[in-house]
Amino acid sequence: MSKACRCLPETVPQVSAILRYCQDNKVKVVPRGAGTSLSGGSMPVGDAILLGLGKFNRVLEIDYANRSARVQPGVTNLGITKAVEHEGFYYAPDPSSQIACSIGGNVAENSGGVHCLKYGLTTNNLLGIEMVLMTGEVVRLGGKHLDSEGYDLLGVMTGSEGLLGVVTEVTVRLLRKPTTARAVLLGFPTEAAAADCVAAVIAAGIIPAGMEMMDKEAVKCAEAYVGAGYPLDAEGLLIVELDGPPVEVDHLVERVAEIARGRGATTVRVSNDEQERVLFWAGRKAAFPAVGQITPDYMCLDGSVPRGRLVEVLAEMREMSKQHRLRVVNVFHAGDGNLHPLILFDANDPDELHRAEEFGADILRLCVRVGGVLTGEHGVGIEKRDLMGVQFTEIDLDQQMRLKCAFDPDHLLNPGKVFPQLRRCAELGRVVIHHNKMPFPDIPRF
């Protein structure tokens, strides 16, 4: 194979034949859903086949009694909800890209969304998949029942970034829409007070459906972009959604408002109807493109930190912003500590681009240093690949690569992603045994 090519199979046997061909001829393959990955996950590489799943776009079966839907991987995330909402059901994980991103891509990235705080990520809402291995073998994991038999390979496939197999069918859990949902806008005079409020709500035993934070700059951009009615004086804005029966929502709205007032909130506004609730979210959901209006380019990061460290992480990020002479805007899933700092820069200026990359890496190192991780939902892909050593030791990474070898011994699937340094499976598989040693005379034995 000298030239890159693209395949758009329509059937599982075709996917199987392609992968088998690739295995036999040692050709690399990059599976691709909708191409919305923010970590370069489905970025084609020079000498690989790009395997597009776009034609796998059918909803195969909806089973309301068992609350499940079986769909092809190219169906969009929102497409699932669209197929069941007339019966009052929905698919819970709701990435902001949900109009475009595919459920196959969601499985590969273990995507989240603003409602994952209460309802979980893709991995917690998945019942089964069918996938094709590099050998061309087709295997099914899970189904309409709970808990897959044997090793939880379904759990491993979720978030495996297209490195282990090609997903050709997905069975998800459906949920019934809550009776009511109300969103509360909480404006604070400092970022620290807003972050503090997040921790206090959780500590009070309340798990909202969603709890998002935006800093002053993000609020300004979003307000100019969609006019959601956000308070422009707030240094930190929280959007908290409570759902359930009306009595519960009213009760919790009051408790959250009280906690917020106790932390100096200057704005407390509760949505009065569905239209207003959607409007409150509109600004948040459009925040990335809104920020895009004020900068030639931006880089979106995705570190995850313990909630209790948010205040200090945000403060340190401001310091770094000064050092690197680049602005940073924060819009993120505060409830589960998943940051999305947006670094503003101009890619035409090589120095700015370089500084943006340095700044981004510094932020992710900071996340790891305070007990967090490099990526909460966007995946490692190409983007964070070279930072993996910040979070993992060589042994940690070798163990993960060995798992990869169990699925793809020639590293043909989605090459160049996730692992900073590839090692051959044969080399990884060797076991070193030290003969003639009595290593632990002092461990208690019976």
Partner 1 sequence: MAGTIRPRDANELRRAVEWALNEGTTLDVRGQGSKIALGKPMDCGQVLDLSGISGIVDYAPEELVVTLRAGTPISEVEALLAQRNQMLAFEPPDLGPLLGLQAGQGTLVGAMMGNLAGPRRLSAGAARDHLLGFSGINGRGEAFKSGGRVMKNVTGYDLSKLLAGSWGTLAVLDQVSVKVLPVPDQTRTLLLLGLDDATAVRAMCAALGSPHEVSGAVHLPGRTALRIEGVAPSVEARLTALRELLADAGAGMEELGTLGSRTFWREVRDVAALKAASDTVVWKISCPPTEGPAIVARIRSQRPSVEAFYDWSGGLVWLALPQCVDADHELVRGAIGAKGGHATLIRAPEAVRAAVPVFQPQPAALAALASRVKESFDPKRLFNPGRMG
How many whole angstroms separate alpha carbon 222 and alpha carbon 230?
Answer: 8
* Binding-site partner at residue 306 among partner 1, ligand FAD, none, CB < 5 to 8 Å by type: partner 1
How many whole angstroms separate alpha carbon 384 and alpha carbon 91?
Answer: 29
The span of 111-119, 178-186, 258-266, 403-411 binding ligand FAD (CB under 6 A) equals 111-119
CB-facing half-sphere around the CA of 113: CA atoms within 13 A: 23
According to DSSP, residue 178 is labeled P
If binding is defined by CB under 6 A, does position 321 make contact with ligand FAD?
A: no
C-alpha pair distances (Å), 381 with each of 100, 106, 116, 273: 19, 14, 22, 40
In this structure, are residues 54 and 101 in contact, taking their beta carbons and an 8 Å threshold?
no
Q: Residue 261 CB, nearest distance to partner 1 (Å)?
A: 19
Question: H or E element: which one contains 365?
Answer: helix 350-369
* Binding-site partner at residue 271 among ligand FAD, partner 1, none, CB < 5 to 8 Å by type: none
In this structure, are residues 100 and 113 in contact, taking their beta carbons and an 8 Å threshold?
no
For ligand FAD, the binding residue among 288, 298, 345, 407 (CB under 6 A) is 288
β strands within 143-196, DSSP E: 166-173, 175-176, 180-188
How many whole angstroms separate alpha carbon 220 and alpha carbon 352?
Answer: 23
The span of 104-112, 186-194, 210-218, 260-268 binding ligand FAD (CB under 6 A) equals 104-112
Is the alpha carbon torsion for 361, 363, 368, 374 positive or negative? negative
If binding is defined by CB under 6 A, does position 415 make contact with ligand FAD?
A: no
In this structure, are residues 236 and 218 in contact, taking their beta carbons and an 8 Å threshold?
no
If binding is defined by CB under 6 A, does position 183 make contact with ligand FAD?
A: no
For ligand FAD, the binding residue among 9, 104, 236, 415 (CB under 6 A) is 104
* Binding-site partner at residue 106 among ligand FAD, partner 1, none, CB < 5 to 8 Å by type: ligand FAD
If binding is defined by CB under 6 A, does position 31 make contact with ligand FAD?
A: yes
Task: Name which of 151 and 273 has its Cβ closer to partner 1.
Answer: 151
Task: Name which of 20 and 269 has its Cβ closer to ligand FAD.
Answer: 20
For ligand FAD, the binding residue among 9, 79, 113, 231 (CB under 6 A) is 113
* Binding-site partner at residue 412 among ligand FAD, partner 1, none, CB < 5 to 8 Å by type: none
Q: At what angle do helices 350-369 and 310-324 cross, to 10 degrees?
A: 160
* Binding-site partner at residue 360 among partner 1, ligand FAD, none, CB < 5 to 8 Å by type: none
C-alpha pair distances (Å), 387 with each of 86, 168, 247, 411: 45, 31, 47, 20
* Binding-site partner at residue 31 among partner 1, ligand FAD, none, CB < 5 to 8 Å by type: ligand FAD
Binding to ligand FAD (CB under 6 A) within 66-95 occurs at 73, 95
Binding to ligand FAD (CB under 6 A) within 215-274 occurs at none
Residues that bind ligand FAD (CB under 6 A): 30-38, 41-42, 53, 73, 95-97, 101-102, 104-106, 108-109, 111-113, 161-162, 166-167, 288, 377-378, 414
